[in-house]
Amino acid sequence: MEPYYPPSLGSDDTVYSADSIEFCPFSSHSSLLGCGTYQLAKDESEEYQQSSQEHRQAKDHKDHKNDEDEDEEVKFDKPMLRLGRLLMYNVEGHSDESRKLRNTSCIQTAAILDMKWSHQLINGHPTLGVADASGDLSLYQFKNDGNDPELVIKYETNTEKKLALSLDWSNRVQASGNTRIAVSLSNGDITILDLDSSILQENQTWHAHDLEAWIVGWNYHDTNILYTGADDCRLKGWDMRMNCSYATFTSKAHTMGVCSIQSNPHDQHTLATGSYDENVLIWDTRNMRDPLSRTEAGGGVWRLKWHPTRKDTLLAACMHNGFHVLHYTEDWLSASIESSFTEHKSLAYGVDWSYAPLETSLYKQPLVVSCSFYDHLIHLWRPKA
Quote the domain boundaries for residue 278. Answer: 10-41+83-381
**pLDDT tens for residues 307-341?**
999 999 999 999 999 999 999 999 999 999 999 99
- Closest alpha carbon to 25 in 363, 312, 266, 356: 356
Residue 306 lies in a domain: yes
Beta bridge partners of 99: none
Q: In this structure, how many other beta carbons lie within 10 angstroms of the beta carbon of residue 296?
A: 14
CB proximity list for 239: less than 8 A, separation 6 or greater = 224, 225, 248
pLDDT at 244 over 50: yes
Same domain flag for 133 and 34: yes
- Closest alpha carbon to 263 in 221, 293, 233: 221
Q: Average the pLDDT over 155-165 and give the result.
A: 86
Residue 146 lies in a domain: yes
3-state secondary structure 305-347: EECCCCCCEEEEEECCCCEEEEEECCCCCCEEEEEEECCCCCC
pLDDT at 43: 65
Q: Average the pLDDT over 333-362 and give the result.
A: 94
d(CA 157, CA 120): 23
Same domain flag for 194 and 57: no
* CA distances in angstroms from 72 to 65, 171, 269, 279, listed in the order given: 13, 60, 66, 53
CA 9 to chain CA mean position, Å: 23
Q: Average the pLDDT over 359-379 and give the result.
A: 93
Q: Which band of pLDDT confidence, cut at 50, 70 and 90, is reported for residue 46?
A: low
Same domain flag for 54 and 102: no
Residue 36 lies in a domain: yes
Q: Average the pLDDT over 359-366 and give the result.
A: 86
Q: Specify the CATH number for the domain of residue 141.
A: 2.130.10.10
pLDDT at 65 over 80: no
- Closest alpha carbon to 284 in 296, 295, 273: 273
Q: Among 52, 78, 104, identify where a domain stops.
A: 78
Residue 3 lies in a domain: no
d(CA 184, CA 193): 11
Q: In this structure, how many other beta carbons lie within 10 angstroms of the beta carbon of residue 333?
A: 11
Residue 345 lies in a domain: yes
Q: Which band of pLDDT confidence, cut at 50, 70 and 90, is reported for residue 77?
A: low
More confident call, 280 vs 148: 280
pLDDT at 209 over 60: yes
Residue 1 lies in a domain: no
3-state secondary structure of 67: helix
**In degrees rounded to 5, what are phi and psi of residue 315?**
-105, 130
Same domain flag for 212 and 110: yes
Residue 95 lies in a domain: yes
Q: Which band of pLDDT confidence, cut at 50, 70 and 90, is reported for residue 198?
A: confident
Is 13 buried (19+), middle (13-18) or exposed (0-12) by CB count in 10 A?
Answer: exposed
Q: How many domains does the chain have?
A: 2
Same domain flag for 56 and 191: no
**pLDDT tens for residues 10-37?**
999 999 999 999 999 999 999 999 999 9
pLDDT at 362: 82
d(CA 349, CA 323): 9
Same domain flag for 155 and 52: no
pLDDT at 98: 94
d(CA 103, CA 375): 18
Contact 134/110 with Cβ under 8 angstroms? yes
Average pLDDT along the chain: 90
The number of residues in the chain equals 385
d(CA 236, CA 292): 17
Same domain flag for 206 and 262: yes
pLDDT at 44 over 90: no
3-state secondary structure of 49: helix
Q: Average the pLDDT over 158-169 and give the result.
A: 90
d(CA 225, CA 272): 15
pLDDT at 49 over 90: no
Contact 79/48 with Cβ under 8 angstroms? yes
Same domain flag for 274 and 263: yes
Same domain flag for 64 and 104: no
**pLDDT tens for residues 260-280?**
999 999 999 999 999 999 999
pLDDT at 79: 63
Beta bridge partners of 129: 116, 139
pLDDT at 157: 81
Contact 297/278 with Cβ under 8 angstroms? yes
Q: Among 78, 96, 125, identify where a domain stops.
A: 78
Residue 236 lies in a domain: yes
Same domain flag for 57 and 197: no
Same domain flag for 321 and 271: yes
pLDDT at 179 over 90: yes
The pTM for the full model equals 0.90
Computed from CA positions of residues 50, 161, 303, 33, in that sequence, does the dihedral angle turn out positive or negative? Answer: negative
Same domain flag for 31 and 118: yes
More confident call, 77 vs 299: 299
Going by the DSSP 8-state scheme, the letter that residue 382 receives in this structure is -
Beta bridge partners of 215: 229
Contact 124/183 with Cβ under 8 angstroms? no
pLDDT at 170 over 60: yes
Q: Among 54, 78, 102, identify where a domain stops.
A: 78
